Amino acid sequence: MSANRPGIAITGTGSYLPKRVMTNADLEKMVDTSDEWILSRTGIRERHIAEEGEGVCAMGAAAGRQALAQAGVAPEEVDLIVLGSFTPDIYLPSGSCLIQDMIGAKRAVCFDMAAACSVFLYALETARCMIASGAYKTALVIGAEKLSPFVDWDDRRTCVLFGDGAGAAVVQSGKETMGRGMIANVMGSDGSLAHLLTVPGMGSRHRLTAEHILNKDVCIKMAGNEVFKHAVRCMSDAAQKVLDMAGMSMEEVAVVVPHQANMRIIQAIENRLEGLKGKFYVNLERVGNMSGASVPVALDEAARTGVVKKGDVVLTVVFGAGFTWGASLLEWGY
């Protein structure tokens, strides 16, 4: 928890969605489900799915290039690249290094972060702190996820929810017009609930065997109902807490950009936080839950379509496996 210093702001955003669109009608042919069930229980109509060979890093690089162009920053000016993702192209070396090479950000220090669906906000806050230290001026923060290889396409309880994509933001200090910049941030984690949303076979505990793959241990396992309840409570509390911390009212918030997991989760938060009603930017109908890419893609869309304008106060609020959660108040910088 920290009250942020002024003058560090998002000065450009970008996003990338794979070309292939998978509709609810497509899913009807794969599992026992219906467009009606998916739409009424989640709010999702379609999601984008990356091709075989199209990885998180290419998607993240595309979003990153767009964010740099928007900010008027050359790749050589980037001091720091932070990739938030739990699905990088490969685990060694880090995805951020691969992205550095793809975009030609030769001077950048690169590292990856993991905090599941909350990771973009964690990465943004990390970049802000590193910039606030005075050691760095310009960061490229990327949230990118290719969830499709980790989805059990036979499990109707999870396969209808997720999509692939990437979003990015340039974070800078030192420009005169930045106002309050990144105003305040809160984050929280609870590892005792890790088992409720996990990919149990992806990692070093066990050597990967054919049996793990047959058992779908490398797929997302989720207790949907439990996750739902925690997501509503944690995101509502985090939103209220960050406003209290900044001494700001809900009326001062122009737009809320929540993690895009489920329309009913977003509506439940809206019902708890009456003063924010009608301010939520939602795109999950078209893209589903893209984990760490959800918030940066939604922020970029909101900025490009004029929903978010320079000087607006934006409240982002996230929740993900871990559990992890957080909220940030940002004065929009471009």
Given the rule CB under 6 A, which residues bind ligand COA?
Answer: 33, 37-38, 41-42, 117, 156-157, 160, 222, 224-225, 227-228, 231, 261-262, 289, 319-320
Dist. CA 120–CA 332, nearest whole Å: 16
Contact 150, 87 (CB under 8 A): yes
Query: Least separation, in Å, of the C-beta of 146 and ligand COA?
Result: 16
Q: Is the peptide bond before 200 cis (omega within 30 degrees of 0)?
A: no
Contact 296, 318 (CB under 8 A): no
Dist. CA 4–CA 184, nearest whole Å: 5
Active site residue 117: yes
Query: Least separation, in Å, of the C-beta of 319 and ligand COA?
Result: 5
Active site residue 212: no
Measured from the CB atom, is 178 or 199 closer to ligand COA?
Answer: 199
Measured from the CB atom, is 30 or 208 closer to ligand COA?
Answer: 30
Measured from the CB atom, is 5 or 156 closer to ligand COA?
Answer: 156
Provide the 8-state DSSP code for 192. Answer: G
Give strand pairing partners of 23.
Answer: 46
Query: Least separation, in Å, of the C-beta of 31 and ligand COA?
Result: 7
Measured from the CB atom, is 81 or 123 closer to ligand COA?
Answer: 123
Question: Out of 4, 57, 159, 259, which one is annotated catalytic?
Answer: 259
Query: Least separation, in Å, of the C-beta of 232 and ligand COA?
Result: 9
Dihedrals phi, psi of 152, to nearest 5 degrees = -85, 100
Measured from the CB atom, is 78 or 114 closer to ligand COA?
Answer: 114
Active site residue 259: yes
Spell out the long-range contacts of 306-311 with Cβ–Cβ below 8 A and sequence spacing 24 or more: 307/255, 307/281, 308/254, 308/255, 308/257, 308/281, 308/332, 309/254, 310/334, 311/179
Query: Least separation, in Å, of the C-beta of 122 and ligand COA?
Result: 14
Query: Least separation, in Å, of the C-beta of 259 and ligand COA?
Result: 6
Question: Out of 97, 117, 219, 234, which one is annotated catalytic?
Answer: 117
Maximum alpha-carbon separation in the chain: 58
Q: What radius of gyration, in Å, describes the C-alpha atoms of the chain?
A: 19
Measured from the CB atom, is 268 or 329 closer to ligand COA?
Answer: 268
Q: Is 147 helix (H, G, I), strand (E, B) or coil?
A: coil
For residue 179, is it left (φ>0), alpha (ψ between -120 and 50) or beta?
A: left
| Amino acid, res. 115 | A
Catalytic residue annotation: 117, 259, 289
